[in-house]
Amino acid sequence: MSTDLAVCYHSIGEADRALRQIDQSLAIDPKHAKTLLNQGIIRAFGKQDLDGALESWEKVVKFAPNTPEAERAQKGLESLKGAHQLGAPGAPTGGAAGS
């Protein structure tokens, strides 16, 4: 329920408030896969904190392997790592996937 509230805050553009709510949820269960997955989403898309998103999604994969949340987190990790490679010197340039 607490994580759902964080998602609602994020959906109305309140990323900081959403992350504070996520922190409250993680204080109760620091390995909760859905909360960690959403923390990564909010960090990536609400705060443009890609390193933070990577950290959150790596925890999902570690703590909850073989779950739908881990599958989504792995896709996020692959997407971010691919974007980092695009920005590397000598790497091909291009826009974001799907744009």
pLDDT tens figures, 20-62: 999 999 999 999 999 999 999 999 999 999 999 999 999 999 9
User: What does the pLDDT read at residue 84?
Assistant: 66
pTM, full prediction? 0.82
Residues 75/41/28/5 CA torsion (nearest 10 deg): -130
Q: What is the mean pLDDT of residues 78-88?
A: 72
Q: Which amino acid is at 38?
A: N
Query: Phi-psi category of 66—alpha, beta or left, where left has phi over 0 and alpha has psi -120 to 50?
Result: left
CB atoms within 10 A of CB 24: 14
Q: Which amino acid is at 18?
A: A
All structural domains of the chain, each given as residue ranges with its CATH number in brackets, are 2-85 (1.25.40.10)
User: What does the pLDDT read at residue 81?
Assistant: 82
User: What does the pLDDT read at residue 57?
Assistant: 97
